[in-house]
Structure 1
Amino acid sequence: MPETSYDAEAAAAYREAREVPREGLASWRQAVAEEAGLAAGMTVLDVGAGTGGFAAAFRDWFGVSVLAVEPAAAMRALIPAGGGIRALDGRAEALPVPDACADAAWLGSVMHHIGDLEAAARELRRALRPGAPVLIRNTFPGRGERDLRVRFFPETADSVAGYPTVEQVEAAFGTAGFRRTALHSLPQESAPTLAAYADRIRRDTDTKLRALSDDAYARGLARIREAAAADPGEPAISWMDLLILR
């Protein structure tokens, strides 16, 4: 997957269009609470933190400190640093953090942006305390049929097909001693209605949508508008996987 570059305008658009509203993440909060056992005073390593939406959520939900690692300067500038969040310049393959500093690692929609999964696994093993979980939120090939983008822009399935599979991630992380302990498919509400979701979409903030032709993108938007007209009250609910490794 080619590296995505962001200027200040693109980073702001990403935050507006891609960060899931906190109220739409109830299932994710519950699953993380059950799987990670986070508590006040612990530290979470957020790898590929983007504009910090999940960094802020973890801090607010669990009272933890967050080390938010993000390589894009424009994205990193929008992370709400302070109050328990530190924004750091770095990549999954070379984390700018001390050994055994974190009680959990969060990788949200970044697996397909990591060039060397085995190197990232070694770095996470170094940075995590013994027994700490790696929490991976991603769309995986063969498991993305309930992703809203795949539903309305079926051509995006071609992009997803090139992402690392669950098995490939497990194999790469297995070289650093990690093993899968759970795999959950979880819902998230991106907008209260499909019409609101259509209004919110920004093509340039999404690697899947950027890969589409103009005609394919227009057809997808038309599908969303048609579905919204047929059921004005349908919420924009998408599903992604949460893979847990320890």
Structure 2
Amino acid sequence: MVDYNGRMGSVYVAGRGIPATEVRRWAAEFAKHLPERRPLDVLDLGSGTGRLTPGLAEEFQGKVYGVEPSDRMRAAAEPHSGVSYLKGSAEEIPLPEASVDAVLMFLTFHHWTDPVQGLREVRRVLRPGGVALLRTQFADLMPDLFWYEYFPSAREVDARMYLTLAATKELAVEAGLVPDDDVVRISAEEQRTLRERYERLSHRALSTFEHLPADEMDRGFARFAADAERDPDRPMPVYDATTLVLTRPS
């Protein structure tokens, strides 16, 4: 488990913040898989510091709820007139049954203590016909991230952190949700230079770094910093974001 009330909470905005232009692109991509009507009421489950939450309010024009267990993360969340930030978790969502049209789970699923119960709660708060977007990694569809070369055990650490696509679908079905056959691959992230990637990752705000040996991280970041100094403007790859679309049956 990662303590988002501790060190991770203090570096999260610097290491994981999303620029406004990128937030708009994410929201527009999410909209392609949701009903066209407006307004839509949306739950951002595991909203953290509200990286995407205000953008959901702008895009979907309805009530938006950011549910987050970490007090520190909620305190740092970006305010918006259309957003209510609430203390809660996936396993215990503080909303009534059938209260939202859509649920976004953005890189939070691997933190849940009880995935089936969490998905049951997602089904409960969705209105019939509502859609949940599960943005996560899958152990059998892991991207070949460029920075793995600096941290030899990071690839294995990440693969252990996530379920396979098939296992994730099985849990969704058990919880009463209907998964699409295939994952959606979203391209919304901005391209960044090697220096920009180093500066973001150097905050160690990814869950991966909570599980790596300290000496491996020290050596890796030293090499990473040297490469960023030599070739700061080299454009780095942009990776598709795997997302599973889940529907509550009507």
SS at match of 2:129: coil
Q: What are the equivalent positions in structure 2 for 1:76-225 lying under 5 Å apart?
A: 76-150=74-148, 152-162=150-160, 163-181=162-180, 182-189=182-189, 192-221=192-221, 222-223=223-224, 225=226
Task: Pick closer, same or farther for the CA change 1:34–1:82 going to 2, 3 Å.
Answer: closer
Matched-pair contact (CA < 8 Å) for 1:48–1:70:
yes
Deviations along 1:30-87, whole A, 9 cap, x unmatched?
4312111355421111111100111112112332321100000000112224411000
The CA deviation at 1:236 is 5.6
Matched-pair contact (CA < 8 Å) for 1:40–1:64:
yes
The CA deviation at 1:197 is 1.6
Matched-pair contact (CA < 8 Å) for 2:41–2:60:
no
Deviates more, 1:189-198 or 1:64-73: 189-198
In the alignment, what sits opposite 1:238? 239
**Pairing 1:73–2:71 present:** yes
Q: TM (normalized to structure 1)? A: 0.87
**Separation of aligned partners in 1, 2:230 and 2:216:** 20
Task: Pick closer, same or farther for the CA change 1:224–1:147 going to 2, 3 Å.
Answer: farther
SS at match of 2:43: strand
- Count matched residues: 244
Residue identity opposite 1:71 in structure 2: P
Task: Pick closer, same or farther for the CA change 1:61–1:153 going to 2, 3 Å.
Answer: farther
Q: Where does the alignment leave 5 or more consecutive residues of structure 1 unmatched? A: none
The CA deviation at 1:114 is 0.6
The CA deviation at 1:224 is 6.7
Q: Where does the alignment leave 5 or more consecutive residues of structure 2 unmatched? A: none
In the alignment, what sits opposite 1:226? 227
**Separation of aligned partners in 1, 2:175 and 2:117:** 9
Task: Pick closer, same or farther for the CA change 1:39–1:58 going to 2, 3 Å.
Answer: farther
Deviations along 1:131-186, whole A, 9 cap, x unmatched?
11110111221222244544653422222222222222211110122122241223
The CA deviation at 1:244 is 0.7
Task: Pick closer, same or farther for the CA change 1:26–1:54 going to 2, 3 Å.
Answer: closer
Residue identity opposite 2:165 in structure 1: V
Residue identity opposite 2:93 in structure 1: L
The RMSD of aligned alpha carbons is 2.5
**Separation of aligned partners in 1, 2:80 and 2:127:** 23
Residue identity opposite 2:239 in structure 1: S
SS at match of 1:6: coil
SS at match of 2:239: strand
**Separation of aligned partners in 1, 2:136 and 2:19:** 17
Q: TM (normalized to structure 2)? A: 0.86
Residue identity opposite 1:206 in structure 2: L
Task: Pick closer, same or farther for the CA change 1:219–1:52 going to 2, 3 Å.
Answer: same
**Separation of aligned partners in 2, 1:33 and 1:13:** 30
In the alignment, what sits opposite 2:43? 45
Matched-pair contact (CA < 8 Å) for 1:39–1:63:
no
